[in-house]
Structure 1
Amino acid sequence: MATWSTRGLRGSTLEELINFSIEKYRERHLALIQKIPTPIKPIQIEKESRHITLAYFDQKSTVDYIGVVQGIPVCFDAKECAADTFPLANIHAHQMSFMKEFEQQKGIAFLLLFFRSRDEIYYLPYRDAEHFWNRAEEGGRKSFTYEEIDRTYRVSGTTGLPVHFLEQIQKDLLERD
Structure 2
Amino acid sequence: MAYWNSRGLRGSQLEESLNITNKIYLEQGLAVVQKIPTAIKPVELDPGKGTIKLAYFEEKSTVDYLGNIQGIPVCFDAKETSQKRLPIANIHSHQIDFMKAFEEQEGLSFLIVHFKFCDETFLLPFSILKAYWDNAKKDGRKSIPYADFDQQLRIYPSHNILLHYLEAVNHYLNGKEENKK
TM-score, scaled relative to structure 1: 0.97
Paired residues for 1:134-149 under 5 Å: 134-149=134-149
Question: What is the aligned partner in structure 2 of residue 166 from structure 1?
Answer: 166
Partners of 2:111 and 2:128 in 1: CA distance = 10
Please tell me the residue identity of whatever aligns with 1:71.
Answer: G
Structure 2: tracts of 5 or more residues without a match = none
Question: What is the aligned partner in structure 2 of residue 68 from structure 1?
Answer: 68
For the pair 1:82 / 2:82, whether they are aligned, the reply is yes
Paired residues for 1:18-167 under 5 Å: 18-167=18-167
SS in 1 for 2:156: strand
Q: How many residues align?
A: 177
Structure 1: tracts of 5 or more residues without a match = none
SS in 1 for 2:114: strand
Where is the strand percentage greater, Structure 1 or Structure 2? 1
SS in 2 for 1:157: coil
Tell me the CA shift for residue 78 of structure 1: 0.4
SS in 1 for 2:95: helix
Contact 2:152 2:171 in 1 (8 A): no
Please tell me the residue identity of whatever aligns with 2:168.
Answer: Q
Partners of 1:57 and 1:107 in 2: CA distance = 27
Tell me the CA shift for residue 173 of structure 1: 1.7
Partners of 1:95 and 1:9 in 2: CA distance = 17
Partners of 2:106 and 2:156 in 1: CA distance = 26
Tell me the CA shift for residue 9 of structure 1: 2.2
Q: Percent identity?
A: 46
Partners of 1:133 and 1:151 in 2: CA distance = 21
Deviations 1:143-162 (A, max 9, x none): 11001121110000011101
Please tell me the residue identity of whatever aligns with 1:100.
Answer: K
Tell me the CA shift for residue 15 of structure 1: 0.7
SS in 1 for 2:157: strand
Tell me the CA shift for residue 119 of structure 1: 0.4
Please tell me the residue identity of whatever aligns with 2:173.
Answer: L
Partners of 1:51 and 1:73 in 2: CA distance = 36
SS in 1 for 2:133: helix
Tell me the CA shift for residue 12 of structure 1: 0.6
Question: What is the aligned partner in structure 2 of residue 6 from structure 1?
Answer: 6
Partners of 1:173 and 1:156 in 2: CA distance = 17
